Amino acid sequence: MATDNHPQYKATAYQAKRPRYKSSLVGNILAYHQHNNPAAATELGLDVATGTGIFARQLVPHFTKVVGTDISKSMLQTAREAAGDNPIEYVEAPSENLMFLNDRSVDVITVATGAHWFNPDEFVREARRVLKPSGTLAIFGYSGLAHFVDHPQCDDIVRHEFLDPNKLGRLWSQGLDIVIDGYRRYHEILLQNKWIGIQRSIYPGTAIRGEPSSEYPPICAQEPVVMNFEVTWRILEDFWKTTSAVSCYVDMFPDRENPATVLVRELMAAAGASDINEMLRVQWEETLLMCHPPCSDM
């Protein structure tokens, strides 16, 4: 999962309250990985910006070896504690400099809701260096924004709270637009650098905004491609409390009410809801981007 090295991140809360990815996601990535080459290896899987290792643990049954990297010591410590019997090697390293890995040594690189923290150009160059010619890069994640199926009036309230620079918008990292735009910036860089077989799926259709005309437009997925995160109002509040902007706000204004609590109260009022444990129908904005290294690497 995504992390930078900001102290605002609380690793234990992140591990406990962040959503898990679809159990079918690894299988979909491997199906893509082996589509044109059924013999494509699954010896080494690398989960970059692993955070507390949520997705790295899902890779374990499918690879001979799994390595997770992050720049946050506290995230990696929590990942090791949560690993259980999963034989995962965790390494403190920036995504743009994976010098502990040899050239052309990795079969699949995954980035689970973390690529918005990176320097995109430098990460793509490093991914190309460490991937085998037959390898796969899979970048995916969710923005934390959503469509409330039964309460659409809540959609704009959430976007206003999280994106308005006079609200929490000023507290996000500068890379937030990358994930909100469905990793469009990565799509463009990969095209420029002649990566092949690029597929970018976005769900739901309402999350596709302002896409320029392109020879390779995103695919509008008909069902969630990254996660099925079933929530109540209370679970929403707990999840939003783990975001970097909310964590930063709490550190800046420790005597004020948590903005996630305030937001959920406003949403419930708009929805005419009184039960904080009411199950909600929510379509999370999410993207799955997959590709192979350029033909010159083959």
Please determine, for residue 275, whether its predicted confidence score (pLDDT) is greater than 80: yes
Question: Are the C-beta atoms of 222 and 202 separated by less than 8 Å?
Answer: no
Tell me the pTM.
0.88
Residue 212: asked if its preceding bond is cis (omega within 30°), the reply is no
Please determine, for residue 1, whether its predicted confidence score (pLDDT) is greater than 90: no
Longest dimension (CA), the chain: 59
What secondary structure letter does DSSP report for 172? S
Band (296; pLDDT cuts 50, 70, 90): low
Q: Please, which residues have CB within 8 angstroms of residue 134's CB and are 6 or more apart in sequence?
A: 37, 40, 41, 107, 292, 298
3-class DSSP state of 275: coil
Band (5; pLDDT cuts 50, 70, 90): very low
Please determine, for residue 20, whether its predicted confidence score (pLDDT) is greater than 80: no
Cα angle 141, 145, 149 (rounded to 5 degrees) comes to 115
State the Cα–Cα distance between residues 52 and 23, nearest whole angstrom. 17
State the Cα–Cα distance between residues 260 and 264, nearest whole angstrom. 6
The string of pLDDT tens digits covering residues 42-101 is 999 999 999 999 999 999 999 999 999 999 999 899 999 988 888 999 999 999 999 999
Strand bridging mode 282-292 / 279-280:
unpaired
Provide the mean pLDDT of the chain: 89
State the Cα–Cα distance between residues 122 and 205, nearest whole angstrom. 30
Beta strands per DSSP E along the chain: 44-48, 65-70, 88-92, 106-112, 131-148, 196-203, 219-220, 231-232, 279-280, 282-292
Which residue do the tokens 């469009």 mark? 184
